[in-house]
Structure formats: C-alpha cells, structure tokens
Copies of this chain bind each other. A is one copy, B any other.
Amino acid sequence: MQAMSEMNAVSRISQSPQGPGRLGAGENPAKRDQILDGAKKVFAANGFDGASMNDITKAAGVSKGTIYVYFNNKEELFAGLIHRERERIFDAVGSILVDTKPLQDVLFDFGMMFGRHMSNADTVRSLRMVLGVIDDMPEVANMFLNCGPTKGAHQLKDYLATRVDKGELVLEDPLLAARQFADLCTAGLFKPCLFNERVQPDDAEIEKTVRSAIRVFMKAYAA
C-alpha cells in the first residue's frame, strides 16, 4: 500500500506478508537499481530541478507508479541515489593504503587516488548536483560529502599523526597538514574542473601534480 524511504527498505523485508520467493512492493533490489541508474543519468545531465520524473521514467524503463513505490517523492529518489553513490565511493576510499609502505609511496598512492577522484568528470558532476541542493537537503548533501572530499583529508590526518609519532614528520597541526597535502594534490585540477574551465586531466598530469605536491610537502614537513 504505502511505499517507504529506501533508508529502511532492507529492514522491512522480513515483515513482508508475502510467502517466500515473493518480493514485497518496493523490495526488488534489481528494480531499485534500475530506477537509480536511470535517475543518475537524468539528474547528472539536468540537475535536480531540471530533471523531470517523466525523463527518469523513460531513462529507467519503468513506469511512474513504480518509481513512487520505491521512493516516496523526487527528493527521496535523489537521496537514494546519493546514498548509493556514496557507498560506491566510500568503498574506493576505504580500501586505500594507509599502512606499512614507505611514507612517500603512501603519499603517492593517496595523492593519485585523491587527484583522480576530485578531477573525475563524473565526480565533479555529482558534486555540482549536490551543491545545488545543499541548502534544501542538507542531510542528503552531507551524506555524500562526508565520504568524498572531506573523508580523504580526515583519513590522511590520522595517518600523518602516526608518522609524526614515528619521527618521520615534524608538524604541529596534522589536520591542517593533511588538508594542505590534499589540496596540493589537486592544485590546478579540482577548481578548474569544478568551474568547467578545463576537462578531466589524464593520469600523466595528475601524477605530475602529485609528485610536485609530495616534493613541497616533504620539504616543508620532513623530519
């Protein structure tokens, strides 16, 4: 009868009155993904306001009614999309190496990952999309942002702190240093991409930027 926010769809499965093998309304994950795939295309191309539910309907290949079974309204559909994208990115970021390799190798790996991520055309489009609704749907926006641009620096901060403890680095403010390194890795990449002043850079340019970032960072903070 009533649809529910995707937030708690999973927990509801067990309450479904249908027999085994029969999926309840709004509980088919494949259909859900099909909807989100369509929504992603349309939202990315047109922004939140510019995207019409009709377009999403066509892009997803499902009927209007079906979308409203899975998501109560456009806003929750968008939230569901962001939530899914977040998970994907989170996995990527989560599996980063902050471990036993030499410091400069770790910085390089992190830098390349971060540089690639923040200048990726897809990511940039998503960021713009989210920035467009940041005032109207702050929790949705934060859900997305806390794992991407922000998460990176925070994870790095913890890593840098351990290196300070080990005497490899000398710095007073690990969070600031982490942010500095992160921003150095996207110097000339992130802002121009966000502002549409340039296209997505290739790996060579990212590497050049990251290597320069490491050089600057190490001259400033190496023990």
Q: Which residues of A contact B (CB under 8 A)?
A: 45-50, 128, 131-136, 138, 141-142, 145-146, 149-150, 153, 173, 175-176, 179-180, 182-184, 186-188, 191-192, 194-197, 209, 212-213, 215-217, 219-221
Return the 3 tightest CB-CB contacts between A and B, nearest first: A49-B49, A183-B183, A216-B220
Write 18 A-B pairs (CB below 8 A) sorted by A numbering.
A46-B136, A47-B133, A48-B49, A128-B132, A128-B134, A131-B131, A131-B194, A135-B196, A145-B195, A149-B191, A150-B195, A150-B197, A176-B212, A179-B188, A182-B187, A183-B184, A183-B186, A216-B216
The CA of A134 and the CA of B198, in the complex, are separated in Å by 13
A48, closest chain B residue (CB): B49
The CA of A41 and the CA of B159, in the complex, are separated in Å by 42
Given contacts A131-B132, A134-B195, A220-B220, contact A213 B180 (CB under 8 A): yes
**Out of B48, B136, B183, B194, which one reaches A187, CB within 8 Å?**
B183
Instruction: With both chains docked as a complex, state the minimum distance between the C-beta of A221 and any C-beta of chain B, in angstroms.
Output: 8
> Which chain B residues lie closer than 8 Å to A183 at the CB level?
183-184, 186-187, 191
> Which chain B residues lie closer than 8 Å to A212 at the CB level?
173, 176, 180
A135 touches B46 (CB 8 A): yes
The CA of A138 and the CA of B195, in the complex, are separated in Å by 10
Which of A48, A175, A195, A213: most chain B CB closer than 10 A?
A195
Known: A47-B135, A150-B191, A176-B212. 4 other contacts (CB 8 A): A131-B131, A179-B187, A182-B187, A220-B220
The CA of A83 and the CA of B136, in the complex, are separated in Å by 25
A132 touches B132 (CB 8 A): yes
A217, closest chain B residue (CB): B216
B128 touches A131 (CB 8 A): yes
Instruction: With both chains docked as a complex, state the minimum distance between the C-beta of A14 and any C-beta of chain B, in angstroms.
Output: 14
B150 touches A196 (CB 8 A): no
